Amino acid sequence: MYASYNYRSPDLGGAQAVKLLIAGGFGVGKTTLVGAISEIRPLRTEERLSEIGAGIDDLTGVAAKTTTTVALDFGRITINPEIVLYLFGTPGQDRFWFMWKELSAGALGAVVLADTRRLGDCFGAVDFFESRSIPFIVAVNCFDGADIYDEDEVRQALDLDPHVPVQLCDARDRGSSKQVLVRLLEYLMATATGNVPARRW
Amino acid sequence: MNGGAPPGGDDPGPLVRPFAVTRGRAGKDLRRLDILTLVMAARTDTEAAGLDREYRDILRLCQHRALSIAEIAAHMNLLLAAVKVLVSDLIDAGYLIQRPPRPAAARPDIKLLQAVLDGVRKL
């Protein structure tokens, strides 16, 4: 009998992995934000475009280059003994990341990181999440020397729905990056409980 | 699953072998495993002594802790597609247990969101 207590059978129990996406234009600080809040140094994983784009027709020209890979940086936050939160940023070949259907499928929500000097760089991400009804917030990474816009100016420039939160942040700062995630999760809670006009639910 | 390179001196190294191991099977199991599927070793390092190196490396990474497919791929510096095939083999052979992430179409779970929010606030 006693032996059975010593035998630790492997058990994944209630273990659950969830993910948030950090999207935005090239060089806007996505991996910086992930690194600021992750419990591990951001890891990088790669996939061949031919694997990701399987089933997509307009890749003919790209798929021929079989060596093309798309990279993702991600971090990890152990929420509690059962829940692990993964933060996926999309560095490198930004123009391809949206093809990674597996990445957005099942995501709780997303942060679109924006740089006010190049707001147009995040139109693609905003469109992507809007069209797939993935709830997102916009976080404006306030670089040194960048013009500081207020939330309404950013909202107008990006033509955001009135309920989409806009948060100013410094992606290098842990507390500020944490606040971005808190804002997103509060928004996801509000959306899920019907306190925000949601498209999906 | 022991059909890889012969033991001894002609080891082509970690970058080549997984593709030799997975050749011809690279599409079979891709849909079964998500980048966020968690896996954990169900057997010890010693029990895996006869396996090819990549299999042993995966089992070593997953002893006593749950890791996602994405983490295994990053730690081993392999493409996700290759890791999915290797992990599939290990699951089929009983060396790993797995837990898939919540279905993509699932409605948001308020309790889950609250737990994540609480966890992030505590950081």
Tens-place pLDDT, residues A153-165: 899 999 999 999 9
B117/A46 CB distance under 8 A: no
Please give the residue range of the domain that contains residue A98: 20-192
What are the extents of the domains in chain B?
17-121
Residue A149, domain CATH:
3.40.50.300
Q: How many domains, chain A?
A: 1
pLDDT at B26 over 80: no
pLDDT band at A3 (very low <50, low <70, confident <90, very high): very low
Q: Is B73 on the interface with A (CB under 8 A)?
A: yes
Number of H helices, E strands in chain A: 8, 7
Beta bridge partners of A140: A114, A168
ipTM of the complex: 0.85
pLDDT digits (tens, 9 = 90+) for A5-17: 334 566 888 899 9
Q: Does B16 touch chain A (CB under 8 A)?
A: no
Query: Rounded CA gap, B104 and A123, in Å?
Result: 24
Q: Please, what is the average pLDDT of chain B?
A: 81
Give backbone dihedrals phi and psi of A156, rounded to 5 degrees, phi first: -65, -45
pLDDT at A201: 39
Burial class of residue B63 (count of CB atoms within 10 Å of its CB; 0-12, 13-18, 19+):
middle
Q: Which CATH number fits domain B17-121: 1.10.10.10, 1.10.10.60, 3.20.20.10, 3.30.70.2740?
A: 1.10.10.10
Q: Say whether residue B76 is in contact with chain A using an 8 A CB cutoff.
A: no
